[in-house]
């Protein structure tokens, strides 16, 4: 694995999806294209190109916190 994110090359959509999946983000091509995917940094011919830093930031923003119902003890109940 490359430690320096800046050393990674720009990627096509297909490569970007594989890049994210390889880092544990369960993204599909459909989500990438249709659900407000990350902004491309530019185009090469007909292909959109993406930068690794932008891809990772986009994936992190899609993570939603899990909320658990809070359980508060009932102080009015009597225990024998």
**What residue spans define the domains of the chain?**
7-62
Q: How confident is the model at residue 66 (pLDDT cuts 50, 70, 90)?
A: confident
Question: Which phi and psi (to 5°) does residue 74 adopt?
Answer: -85, 110
* pLDDT exceeds cutoff 90 at 17: yes
Question: pLDDT tens, 28-49?
Answer: 998 888 877 888 899 999 999 9
CA dihedral 11, 15, 16, 19 (to 10 degrees): -120
Q: pLDDT at position 2, please?
A: 47
Output the pLDDT for position 71.
Answer: 65
In this prediction the pTM is: 0.70
């Amino acid at each position: 694995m490359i430690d320096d994110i800046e050393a990674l090359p720009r990627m096509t959509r297909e490569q970007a999806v594989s890049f994210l999946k390889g880092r544990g983000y369960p993204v599909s091509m459909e989500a990438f294209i249709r659900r407000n995917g990350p902004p491309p940094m530019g185009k090469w011919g007909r292909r959109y190109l993406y930068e690794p830093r932008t891809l990772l930031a986009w994936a992190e923003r899609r993570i939603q916190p899990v909320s658990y119902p809070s359980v508060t003890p009932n102080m009015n109940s009597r225990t024998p």
